[in-house]
Amino acid sequence: MDDLVTNSLETFFRRIERRDGMAPAERLALVRSVSTLENVRAGVDLVKEGDRPSRCTLLVSGFTARYRLVSSGERQFAAIHVPGDFIDLHSFPLKEMDHSVLALSDCTLAMFPHSNLQELTESYPHLTRLLWLLTLLDSALHREWIMCLGRLSATARAAHLFCELGIRLAVVGLGEPDNYDMPLTQQDLADALGVSSVHANRVVQALRSDGLLVWQADRVTLPDLARLRALGEFDERYLHLVREPR
Amino acid sequence: MPRFYFDLLDRDGEQIDEDGVECQDLDQAILLARQTVSEIAREAFRDTEQTELAIRIRDQEEGPVVLKVTLDTYGRQ
């Protein structure tokens, strides 16, 4: 079981080690905190607004989105998770979920019971700070999305999102910043950008005809990353990719 | 569900929608077009000097229906 879990946590370890080193004992403590690995199908809510989860969920493979619904039935994504991300680490101290998380593709998940995290945080101070860091990275990402949603055009927001996903996937070893696999639908993109599906479609066509995006099947290629970054006002500072003692 | 196509018409000409979106019926397509044209107008009227744009809805059987929005500048350009 330990080997299987260790392999499953590889993207998670890469994500952390891009920001700080981890001792072998800390890695092992994380591996031992996993109770089960589970598979879910695309379209399933992994946690729902109002839930009181008894465990935190780490995304091992696949993509999920953090979202809220409004009364018209429209969805707004607040973040997209990639492999190596905790989807609800904050449920450990917050207890009650104030939003839902949706599987955008088939996913594999590693489950961390809150009781295991409690023991871990009582025994490993540095590891506890790293878990704290992860929730701070979530909030840094939300601040960036607020800027995008409030002030950038839909086309610039899309440019920003394609830049962001490329870097986050490259950090965990899945593709390159300008070339990666991503299973989002047109409606998913619309819900991330906060626009209608027709508008999202138009934005994709505009980026394509401008030579900034190739998106076929689930493969994304960004032929002119420098120009796309400028259009999306993208600067990865908010991803905090500096390795230093935390 | 039928697939509807939403072309954007502005002073630069026509941008033909080649992908389309599935909608239950023409009413839902019109609702989607209203939302879209207002979103695009918000940006186009702010970021460029456009004062008029429209969306043309096409499908295989019905239409086309054209929704136009105009920014009234009281004669000043």
The pLDDT tens digits for A87-136 are 999 999 999 999 999 999 999 999 999 999 999 999 999 999 999 999 99
User: If you average pLDDT over residues A154-160, what whole number do you get?
Assistant: 97
The H or E element containing residue A55 is strand A55-61
Residue A215 touches chain B, beta carbons under 8 Å: no
User: If you average pLDDT over residues A168-189, what whole number do you get?
Assistant: 97
Domain boundaries, chain B: 3-70
The pLDDT of residue A146 is 97
Interface touch A196/B36, C-beta < 8 Å = yes
Among A239, A230, A140, A158, residue whose Cα is nearest residue A194? A158
Interface touch A154/B39, C-beta < 8 Å = yes
Residue A223 distance to chain B (closest CA, Å)? 22
Residue B71 distance to chain A (closest CA, Å)? 19
Helix (H, G, I), strand (E, B) or coil at A73: coil
Which of B21, B35, B43 is closest, CB to CB, to A201? B21
User: If you average pLDDT over residues A214-225, what whole number do you get?
Assistant: 97
A29: Cβ contacts below 8 Å, ≥ 6 apart? A120, A123, A124, A127
The 3 state secondary structure assigned to chain B is CCEEEEEEEECCEEECCCCCEECCCHHHHHHHHHHHHHHHHHHHHHHCCCCEEEEEEECCCCCCEEEEEECCCCCCC
d(CA B8, CA A201): 12
d(CA B56, CA B65): 6
pLDDT tops 60 at residue A173: yes
The pLDDT of residue B15 is 86
In degrees and rounded to multiples of 5, residue A9 shows phi and psi of: -90, 5
Nearest-5° angle of CA A163, CA B39, CA A214?
A: 30
d(CA B2, CA A71): 26
Do residues A62 and A105 touch, judged by C-beta distance below 8 A? yes
Nearest-5° angle of CA B24, CA A185, CA A80?
A: 130
d(CA A175, CA A168): 10
Residue A156 distance to chain B (closest CA, Å)? 11
Helix (H, G, I), strand (E, B) or coil at A57: strand
Residue A153 touches chain B, beta carbons under 8 Å: yes
Interface touch B21/A195, C-beta < 8 Å = no
pLDDT tops 60 at residue B77: no
Chain segment B5-40, per-residue pLDDT in tens: 898 888 888 888 888 888 898 888 888 988 998 898
Among A114, A57, A113, residue whose Cα is nearest residue A86? A57
What ipTM was assigned to the predicted interfaces of this complex?
A: 0.83
The pLDDT of residue B73 is 57
User: If you average pLDDT over residues A188-214, what whole number do you get?
Assistant: 95
pLDDT tops 60 at residue A41: yes
The pLDDT of residue A225 is 98
Q: What is the mean pLDDT of chain B?
A: 81
For the packed helices A197-209 and A154-171, what is the interaxial angle rounded to 10 degrees? 80
The pLDDT of residue B76 is 53
User: If you average pLDDT over residues A15-22, what whole number do you get?
Assistant: 97
Residue A135 touches chain B, beta carbons under 8 Å: no
Interface touch A199/B39, C-beta < 8 Å = yes
**Considering only CB atoms, which chain B residues are within 8 Å of A197?**
21, 32
- Cis status of the peptide bond prior to A83, with omega within 30 of 0: no
Interface touch A199/B36, C-beta < 8 Å = yes
The two most distant CA atoms of chain A are separated, in Å, by 55
Interface touch B15/A197, C-beta < 8 Å = no
Which of B17, B35, B47 is closest, CB to CB, to A201? B17
The pLDDT of residue A99 is 95
Interface touch A205/B21, C-beta < 8 Å = no
Query: Least CA distance to B42: which residue of chain A?
Result: A153
The pLDDT of residue B74 is 56
User: If you average pLDDT over residues A21-25, what whole number do you get?
Assistant: 96
Interface touch B35/A196, C-beta < 8 Å = yes
Residue A213 touches chain B, beta carbons under 8 Å: no
Give the domains, in start order, of chain A with CATH numbers.
2-136 (2.60.120.10), 146-239 (1.10.10.10)
Interface-testing mutation among A198, A208, A215, A233, with chain B (most B C-beta atoms within 10 A): A198
Chain segment A44-58, per-residue pLDDT in tens: 999 999 999 999 999
Burial (CB < 10 A; 0-12, 13-18, 19+), residue A216, is: exposed
